Structure 1
Amino acid sequence: MNFHTRKWIKPEDLNPNGTLFGGRLLEWIDEEAALYAIIQLENPRTVTKFMSEINFKSSAKKGDIIEIGIDTVKFGNSSLTLCCEVRNKMTREVIISIEKIIMVSLGEDGKPQKHGKTEKEFVKDRLAK
């Protein structure tokens, strides 16, 4: 799993307990999954369809640095299934794991569109072609 994004936990990211607000973390995960899927499928009209069970295992506090990891699970006809793990760089604890996030490639009409992708690609490899 590649951890592409790091976030520094600031006061505006906290809940009343003084720990990372779950809604803020889910926003960051959804954005990271969208960016990853858009790059993989080469389609800016890619949306979140499904996110499996979410189980918070630990948290982070102000000043901590977390990192968000995304990886490809499988390619469908119009979808890309991902998994995600978020960990606290300071304590090395896993904050959350999500086994399945399904992203769907849409056409201009807003309906699912086949993407023709079958394996993970890296931008550096596309540029070499």
Structure 2
Amino acid sequence: MNFYSRKWVRPEDLNANGTLFGGSLLRWIDEEAAIYAIVQLGNHRVVTKFISEVNFEASARQGDLIEMGLVATRFGRTSLTMRAEVRNMITRKTILTIERMVFVNLGEDGAPAPHGYSTITYERDRMPTIQPATE
């Protein structure tokens, strides 16, 4: 598993107990996973379909640095399944694990579409080159 993305826990990310708010962390990991799916599937049209049990193991406090890691575990015909882990760079503790996050590749019509991949890429060769049209 590679840990590429890092976040700095700031005051606006805290809950009433003064620790990292789980909702903020889930937003960050969902965004990171979507970006990972875009790179792996070569399509900017991906959506979150499923997130398995979220296991919060530790927390983070203001000023801590966290890092998020993802790895593809399965390529379906129209989907990508991955595993996620978030860890505290200061305390070295695992903050969160998610065993399964499933993203679906969509066609221009918004329906699930085959992506044609079966292996992980570590390059940016699958990055979409055409930007979505803005209205």
Matches within 5 A, 1:78-93: 78-93=78-93
Distance 1:126-1:111 versus aligned 2 partners, 3 A rule: closer
The DSSP-based 3-state class of the residue aligned with 1:123 is coil
What does residue range 73-112 of structure 1 map to in structure 2 within 5 Å? 73-112=73-112
- In structure 2, the residue matched to 1:60 is 60
Structure 1 runs, 4 residues or longer, greater than 3 Å off = 124-127
Identity %: 58
Aligned equivalent of 1:8: 8
Q: Given the two structures, how large is their TM-score scaled by the length of structure 2? A: 0.91
Unmatched runs of 5 consecutive residues or more in structure 2: 128-135
Q: Is 1:36 aligned with 2:45?
A: no
Residues 62, 89 of structure 1: CA spacing in aligned structure 2 closer, same or farther, 3 A cutoff?
same
Query: Mind listing any 5+ residue stretches in structure 1 that lack a counterpart?
Result: none
Is the partner of 2:12 in helix, strand or coil?
Answer: helix
TM-score, scaled relative to structure 1:
0.95
Q: Match of 1:31, as an amino acid?
A: E
Matched, 1:19 2:19: yes
Letter in 2 for 1:106: L
RMSD value over aligned CA atoms? Answer: 1.3
